[in-house]
Structure 1
Amino acid sequence: MMGVNAKEKFGRFKFHSIQFFWKIVHDWSFSLSSLIGYNLLVSLLPLILCLFSIATLIFQGDQAVIDNIRNRLINAFPKDEGIADIIDGLLKSLSQQAGLVFLITFCVSVFAGSRLMIGIDDVLTIIYRIRERSAIDQNIHAIKMLLSFIILMPLLLISSSAPAVLTKHEGLAQIGTALGSAIFGFLLFELIYYNVPNRKMLFRNTWAGALAAAIGLQILLSIFPMYVHSFMSNYVGQLGFVIVAVLLFYLFGLVLVIGAQINAYFFDHIQPLPVGLGTLLSRNLDNENAILIDGNLQPKDNTSTLIEGLNPLP
């Protein structure tokens, strides 16, 4: 009897594993990961400068905190005088023009970051098989999400690094920082999975994917510093750093997509497409009514086309 139950459980496990694999493949998950990784890469630099300018404005009168930030940034890279000079120049510029830098980087961050949120929205629309928002609603929702991240991220980053600041014991500091970083990652992914999709989401259906994504992110963040400290001391390693950094952004996108797929398949029971997304669209498209680029067809009114795009049918 136990053998039959074990065989049945293994059969179910095998079936769901195969189905989950095909959901990942047929949803273009790897291409969607590239989309998220690219948008993250574009939006990250102005966001980092914005956060640095905020920290400079807050701790401008406390040189000990500024020096602590400087030392941690320098220690994140191999011993190199060039890195120290770059960071010193950056902090000096920020201390002199923190208000102007904040204003500029905040505006750029809102635009670039909202493109990232829209990209994630499009990805989750495909994964959850839901209707997309209109262009106006999508941009408004993306800006709201981005502003919430800008407000929450400094608090979460401070809480994740607090153990390293409050304790002098190196082992406890590392454990506390890793734990705080894991909690920060979980909250980050949970906020995305819970609020971005254009449908009502429940915590019980999103926590597992957020936890899996947070663990994956911690693994990536543990491996990347190892490469920096081990291989960036020579010219070849510095060239490889660019490739590894781009790969890191792609893997972050993949982690986010896989976490969403876990939630969609195992908790919302959304089944895989029978074929790839492009093939499915081709099969289901009514070629007789398709709008094709043809000189013999009457051009469609541009104004009505724009209105339809901004306000799709319910």
Structure 2
Amino acid sequence: MRVRTPALTGSATTGLARACALALGALAALCGCDGSATGYQRGWAGAWTYGGAAFAPADPATFQPLSPHFGRDARQGYCRGSAVEGSEGATFEALSEHEARDGRAVYYCSTYRKAQEYWAYQHLRIATIPGADAASYRVLAHRHARDRHRAYDRGQPFAVRDAASFEPLSPRFARDAQRGYFEHADIPGSHGASFALMDEDDPGYARDRAHAWHGHIEVNQPNRGPHPVLRPLQGADMATLRALGRGYAADARRVWYQGEPLARADAASFRVLTEATAEVDARDRAQAWQRGRAVAGNDPGPSPGVR
């Protein structure tokens, strides 16, 4: 015998679809089934997970996520599903992807991998930032922070002349009301109030009202590991000086590459190529250039795609 079911009307079909969608959404929220399994999720019977793995806070009834990586309960704070030892749950708060604080201290949470494990496993490191003043600690741009005493880069403190006005300009350059800084070091003779990047798209060059510098991390020097190099642009005409891109800068008379003057470059006609596939990265009326070196036997020809 064939059993016939009553046909659903359009309104009934729509209502059923909405009910199913709501039910599926609720199930996904409970199970954390969003395809990513990241952050803190509360599943069946109130059990918590972090990143898809079981997570048991000390006080499950009061636990609350603060961000994808940080959480707290009435007893303590948590980072990536692990307790922040010595933290105070009632005042614990997330400040950034890596930083959190309570009423007593500031904490930095990061992950790392080990070469001997072939980089296969992710490990967690939670550290109290030494000497940080929790009440005045403020997260800034480019992985930096400051409190009333000093500045910080990824949780590591360094001294500045005026912490209250400290401002990072890029991952490497910064300033306060008194000085400019490169890689945490005070730039002698710099004027903090006028210190700025020459070009936001070419953050290797910085200047103030009277001087200019190029800074980079040197990685190609034999028998020496990576280290910061800061070069002043000696004799630069500040009125006409400009960053050109790809490590070059020029004024009305000279051209520099990474802060080194190019003796044979023609400033008036010097142009940097914007095409990443070009065999050279710059040209002037007499020759072509690659990373600050004249390229022998390369006909300059026409110069399409320059800035």
For the superposition of Structure 1 and Structure 2, which TM-score range results when normalised by the shorter chain? under 0.3
Give the number of the structure whose residues are more often strand, by fraction.
2
Give the TM-score taking structure 2 as reference length: 0.21
TM-score, scaled relative to structure 1: 0.20
Query: Which protein has the larger Cα radius of gyration, Structure 1 or Structure 2?
Result: 2
> Which has the bigger relative contact order, CA under 8 A and spacing at least 6?
1
